[in-house]
Chain A
């Protein structure tokens, strides 16, 4: 039954995706479009295999940066959200700065960071900055949305602040937090790619974005598409992993996780 449900869920998007690729492949072949203009999906797939020695290390670099940035954003975002929930003064003092960082486009910040930091650190900081805000704001919202009656109940039972945080506020904020992490995961990848493009770092620390730029300079269009496909796959994988995590954590008690099974 579970397998059937999975097939039912995956079949429609898989069909659309296959139809799109089929049309693309047919168009390139029938119209005899040169591969340096638009490579066929089959050629992109072949390039993925042929250039794996270049692309896979780049994928790992981008994945590592995204992962570290997301982890730092989780620690920083949740930590700051807890501070916000403890003190309105801290919230009023720090939130404007967080908003400034959020609304300033990362591609405008990246060149500055590259002046002060080494390229790999600058890329990491850029990815962190874009992932940080949604996690902070969502978690802060979750912590502020604690059920008032439950808070009264904890007070009545003489709960300490730490007990209230650990047993009530944090679990209650989980759905908001996980929503923020899902957004932050995708944004961390976007931040990492944007910063890599700005950094243009080559060699051992080069990520997928640099491979795209490099392939563009060499007019190796199939490799550009192959690197792009890897970025898309990485984005899908990150989103799916975080969605799965969210679903596993919330599935028995929160409507957002329950609706996915319908």
Chain B
């Protein structure tokens, strides 16, 4: 419990960022001195206000962008299927039905439809959309589209799942439900997740660890370990004193990181 220093004693860091910085061509310093490790099997949350570089870190970890300073090392081959990405928008192909959207990562790996079908059926079952395999994205609700997006990210069984404020645009009820489902899925599959959010409550509910960030330049200002294992969490966790305690802690850390700014 409490603010903790970076713990380097834990084994199996999937991704490590050491003194990483990112400066854009315009001269904007997006990130400075980022030290961070993503440990196998955890849900790590990056919590901070808009513009603090949370998404930039995610892009660096995904390999979609490169740091301008520091060292980023991956303890997994960054090849097809090892990393899944869920964006703030579902980012589905509107011309393709649910099956074809989820099939995409496997299709790009060269798998045939027939061979991919069982994995797609399985992941659809897990996200509760088995009946909607032939539906097009526009025929689904916002929450269902996001489930498809998550299913697509999970279908190739990635070792690392990166989620960039995936539930930010959804209503509170749907968001709570998807948070529950995500915790359950992670417990079942053991996928390592890096989750970006600006919601204190969501970060505490989901995470094993929270990195609190501040802007101008984007930097990590605190790390909070959540002692309650996510595998034992359920909806009731939201009403426990421990949950409220961690929320207060995260909120205080945010305030200290960016006095005068709302998270």
Contact = CB atoms under 8 A, between A and B. Distances in A.
Answer yes or no: do A and B interact.
Answer: yes
Interface in A221-262: 252-254, 258
B108 A163 contact: yes
Interface in A170-229: 171-172, 174
Nearest to A157: B108
Contacts of B83: 156
A149 B137 CA distance: 16
B154 to A, nearest CB: 13
Contacts of A156: 62-64, 83, 85
A148 to B, nearest CB: 9
Contact of B91 (A147, A158, A253): A147
A129 to B, nearest CB: 31
Contact of A149 (B63, B91, B104, B105): B91
B243 interface: no
Interface in B66-98: 79-81, 83, 85, 87, 89, 91, 93-96
- The binding surface of chain A is classed by DSSP as helix
Nearest to B92: A150
A153 interface: yes
B94 A253 contact: yes
A174 B95 contact: yes
A156 B63 CA distance: 7
Contact of A159 (B91, B93, B108): B108
Nearest to A174: B95
Contact of B104 (A157, A172, A253, A258): A157
Given A174-B95, A253-B136, A154 B89 contact: no
A155 interface: yes
B107 interface: yes
Interface string B136-171: 111100000000000000001000000000000000
B157 to A, nearest CB: 13
Given A157-B81, A253-B138, A167 B62 contact: no
A152 interface: yes
Nearest to B156: A157
A172 B94 CA distance: 8
Contacts of B156: 157
A60 interface: no
B108 A254 contact: no
A72 interface: no
Given A149-B87, A174-B95, 19 more contacts: A149-B89, A150-B91, A152-B59, A153-B85, A153-B87, A156-B64, A156-B83, A156-B85, A157-B80, A157-B105, A158-B80, A163-B108, A168-B93, A171-B93, A171-B96, A253-B94, A253-B137, A254-B94, A258-B138
Interface of A: 147, 149-150, 152-159, 163, 167-168, 171-172, 174, 252-254, 258
10 contacts: A157-B80, A157-B156, A158-B80, A159-B108, A167-B104, A168-B93, A171-B95, A171-B96, A253-B137, A253-B138
